[in-house]
Structure 1
Amino acid sequence: MRVSVIGGGTVGDEETAVARRVGELLGERGHTLVCGGRTGVMEAACRGATEAGGDTIGILPSTDPNEANDYVDVPIATGIGNARNVLVALNGEGAIAIGGSYGTLSEIAHALDFGRPVAGIASHDVAGVETVETPDAAVEYVETA
């Protein structure tokens, strides 16, 4: 299963730890992680997935695949800026939102529009998002919803 992990590009230690654990769980369970390929939640989740033996895909806003974080296995350069948020949401069979601001909110909306289950950890409280407290609960939700 491919799971989109979405969240802020600039995060604190707590969100970094949560994202890394989400990635680790996805990697351990054989899922492919899809994200925006850059820093913050994206990098921490990719690191966790990679360290657990999982695969990662980064859908980048720029035309340069070298802008991906060091833990992205497959960088996809788009050159379409934040419009790439649609592709991040589309390419996961479920999504896990960790914190985030407007970009994360747009990815949540797209994921819901595509009929994807969305779990949120300390993220936006909107209809359709299953608010959970832990990385384990987030991964279990997208696996079973």
Structure 2
Amino acid sequence: MTQLDSIPRRAGQVCILGSAEPGSPAYELAGAAGEMLARAGITVVSGCGSPATRVAAERALAAGGLVVSIVPSDDIGLKDWPCSVLIPCGMGDARNLLMALAGDACIVIGGRAGTISEVCLAWLHRRPLLPLTGCGGWSDQLERNPPDERKNSKILSWGSVDELKGRLAELGL
């Protein structure tokens, strides 16, 4: 056994990208996904800027998980942010690159313009994409309509937490 063998392996990290409104099926699945990731020992990375990403972080924390939040502002004093670690990047929307790079994979729920930019950046940097399907929003179309023709990374759709677990297992997470 070498010294390196005794160093603990980094836990998997999964970014939660997207948007969904409270009460919608996508919002409920976002929360359930956050909880499942925490119970699996996977670090949740979230900007907590939308209700869906925020509920994923809240449910991950409630389940005893680790949540890293990368926020666009430079304010380290955010008091109501659901996270274990707060990273205020002070870069505004340029923060989307950090979000795209911070995960071993990116869960995509619904989405608006900011989510699309994160998805394209994740695609360019070869991060697997896990779009929620069956709940509306453009994440429903991501597998059929990827960012471009390059096949940079896997796109593995899911419609239930059990399917998401299987997709994460396919990725070794």
- More strand by percentage: 1
Choose the corresponding residue for 2:72, options 41, 58, 61: 61
1:141 corresponds to: 167
SS in 2 for 1:5: strand
Alignment of 1:66-105 (within 5 A): 66-67=77-78, 69-105=80-116
TM-score (norm 1): 0.89
Cα separation, 2, equivalents of 1:25 and 1:109: 25
Tell me what 2:157 maps to: 131
2:21 is matched by which residue type in structure 1? Answer: V
Question: Please, which runs of 5 or more residues in structure 1 have no aligned partner?
Answer: none
- C-alpha separation between the residues in 2 aligned to 1:68 and 1:93? 28
User: Residue 70 of structure 1: CA displacement?
Assistant: 3.6
CA contact (8 A) 1:6 1:98 kept: yes
Q: Structure 1 138/66 Cα, relative in aligned 2: closer, same or farther at 3 Å?
A: farther
Of structures 1 and 2, the one with the larger relative CO (CA 8 A, separation 6+) is: 1
Deviates further, 116-125 or 50-59: 116-125
Give the Å deviation of 1:142: 3.3
Q: Does 1:12 align with 2:22?
A: yes
Q: Is the helix fraction higher in 1 or 2?
A: 1
Pair 33,117 (structure 1): closer, same or farther in 2 beyond 3 Å? same
Larger Rg over CA atoms: 2
Question: Could you tell me which amino acid in structure 2 is paired with residue 75 of structure 1?
Answer: L
User: In 2, distance between residues paired with 1:5 and 1:65?
Assistant: 21
Question: 1:101 and 1:68 mapped to 2: Cα distance?
Answer: 26
Assess, with a 3 A threshold, how the Cα gap between structure 1 residues 70 and 108 changes in structure 2: closer, same or farther: same
Is 1:108 the counterpart of 2:119? The answer is yes
- Alignment check: 8 A CA contact 1:24 1:49 kept: yes
* TM-score, normalised via structure 2 length: 0.76
Q: Partner of 2:68: helix, strand, or coil?
A: strand
The 2-side partners of 1:68 and 1:16 are apart by: 23
Q: 2:14, 2:80 → 1: CA distance?
A: 18
Measure, in 2, the Cα distance between the counterparts of 1:69 and 1:4.
Answer: 20
Let me know the Cα RMSD of the aligned residues: 1.8
> Mind listing any 5+ residue stretches in structure 2 that lack a counterpart?
1-11, 134-138, 147-153
Give the Cα separation in 1 of the matches to 2:121 and 2:168. Answer: 16
Cα distance, 1:102–1:77 mapped onto 2, change above 3 Å = same
Runs of 4+ in 1 over 4 A off after TM superposition: none
Paired with 1:20 and 1:93, the residues of 2 have a C-alpha distance of: 19
